[in-house]
């Protein structure tokens, strides 16, 4: 997973001739599609390897925020994908607005998860989910 994200970073940093740019965009589109395909039915991204990350509270905001950086002209997620990711993040915030503490036995990096949730929500276009934005304002 980290290799894919690192590849996305490297690809977005490279700017050269048209053929390389076309290949970069193709790879970015394929990597974005693959990451969106990894989204679970509950809207989160869950580790299949690392036990502490299986809940998805640390990975979901991180991956979602990275995917928001992909230009819509390269890959445009469906509104359902955006809604599910946002719902996952909002529903996993505790009463203090902290992410990563919803499981009673495992803390899933709450400082990191909360910070990325705040970034992800700040980077989400309001038009992507007016219902969830109304919910967060109340």
In the chain, the domains with their CATH numbers are 2-137 (1.50.10.10)
Measure the CA dihedral 38/39/42/45, to 10°: 80
pLDDT at 53: 72
DSSP string of 24-93, one letter each residue: HHHHHHHHHHHHHHT--TTS----SS-GGGTT-TTHHHHHHHHHHTS-TTT----HHHHHHHHHHHHHT-
CA 116 to chain centre: 9
pLDDT at 132: 59
pLDDT at 135: 56
Q: Contact at 8 Å (CB) between 55 and 102?
A: yes
Mean pLDDT by 10 residues, the chain (138 residues): 64 67 90 96 88 79 94 91 92 84 75 89 74 57
pLDDT at 54: 76
pLDDT at 31: 94
pLDDT at 127: 63
């Amino acid at each position: 997973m980290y290799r894919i994200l690192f590849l996305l970073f490297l690809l977005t940093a490279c700017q050269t001739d048209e053929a390389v740019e076309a290949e970069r965009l193709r790879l970015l589109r394929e990597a974005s599609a693959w990451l969106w395909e990894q989204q679970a039915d509950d809207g989160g991204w869950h580790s299949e390897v690392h036990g502490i990350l299986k809940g998805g509270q640390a990975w979901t905001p991180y991956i979602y925020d990275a995917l928001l950086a992909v230009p819509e002209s390269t890959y445009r997620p469906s509104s359902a994908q955006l809604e599910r990711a946002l719902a996952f993040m909002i529903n996993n915030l505790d009463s203090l607005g902290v992410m990563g503490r919803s499981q009673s036995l495992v803390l899933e990096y709450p400082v990191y998860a909360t910070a990325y949730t705040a970034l992800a929500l700040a980077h989400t276009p309001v038009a992507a989910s007016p219902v969830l934005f109304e919910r967060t304002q109340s």
